[in-house]
Amino acid sequence: MYPLKFQPILKERLWGGTKLKGVLGKPIASDITGESWELSTVKGDVSIVANGALAGTSLQDLIDQNAEQLLGKSVVARFGADFPILVKFIDANQDLSIQLHPNDVLAKKRHDSFGKTEMWYIMDADPGAKLIVGFNKNVTKEEYAKSLGNDTLLDLLNYEQVGEGDTFFINTGKIHAIGAGVLLAEIQQTSDITYRVFDFNRRDKNGNLRELHTDLALDAIDFSKKDDFKVIYTHERNATNNMVTCPYFKTNFFDLSEDLNQDVAERDSFTIYMCVGGEATIENEFGSVRLMKGETTLIGANCTTIALKSSGAKLLEVTI
């Protein structure tokens, strides 16, 4: 199983822009493209291999045919033939809606889906660009409901100014929004379940207000103020820098100025690399692939070594 690249799945969004093309070189066809799904088995949006002998094959078909070789025995034991990770690049030309995601229990009960724990790595940010992450004080359910009724929810929210390299971990139940001017890489559980609670009273191209999920969100929100979202990580060059380790994924950061070889014989998991800066060649014993900024590769669990070859690249490495 050589390193696989996939065709990006491009999504128009009300809040999207042109940075996916201008900064990352994606083949977008509109000025409101907000997301590039890099690896997905979400129903209706399954990634298709773009390189090598397997070009044209869907990720789900590869898993169905070679689950343990591709995913790893321990991953198959936990998730079966479901690919547990969805990775994206997101361009917010406007503020996204204020939203949150349910946990595994609620998502399974209501939607027969995984919950959605996620993380963000900021790739580019306009001056003054911000995120909304959590509340700025402990809030009661009654205070929250009142704020929705009188359009003062924004007064209860916590704002974080951001720049390149800033990283945030968004656990389920945490209210959040990506602000205008932010380009980021997102790593999440495989889920497309979002509860939208406020959308700045915007209207879509047909003049309609977007659907809100006020009632569903009430039982899913964490109303407490928590400072558990900003990820502090080391930036040692040519070394593994752990960013996030949670039950759903593990993410490491590499800042490369020279080649780095990794022994992954005991990993028992697939490996994803997202190139968030520069360029690199990723090799295993079955082949190699060139990654430019904004590109992603998937490496199967059946390899024993991975070589990262670069004189200047920043990579996110994702495993289970």
Maximum distance among all Cα pairs of the chain, rounded to whole angstroms: 60
Rounded to whole angstroms, the Cα distance separating 29 from 36 reads 12
C-alpha distance from residue 310 to each of 11, 278, 279 (Å): 31, 9, 7
DSSP 24-93: T-----STTEEEEEEE-EETTEE-BB-SSTTTT-BHHHHHHHHHHHHH-HHHHHHHTTS--EEEEEEEES
What Rg value do the Cα atoms of the chain yield, rounded? 19
Contact 123, 183 (CB under 8 A): yes
Instruction: Return the SS3 of 248.
Output: coil
Rounded to whole angstroms, the Cα distance separating 229 from 294 reads 24
Task: Output the six-digit token pair for 143.
Answer: 């205070």
Rounded to whole angstroms, the Cα distance separating 148 from 31 reads 31
Catalogue the active-site residues: 196
Rounded to whole angstroms, the Cα distance separating 154 from 95 reads 12
C-alpha distance from residue 261 to each of 79, 281, 284, 310 (Å): 29, 12, 10, 11
Looking at the DSSP assignment, which residues form a beta bridge with residue 203?
209
Where does 131-232 have alpha helices with state H?
A: 141-149, 214-218
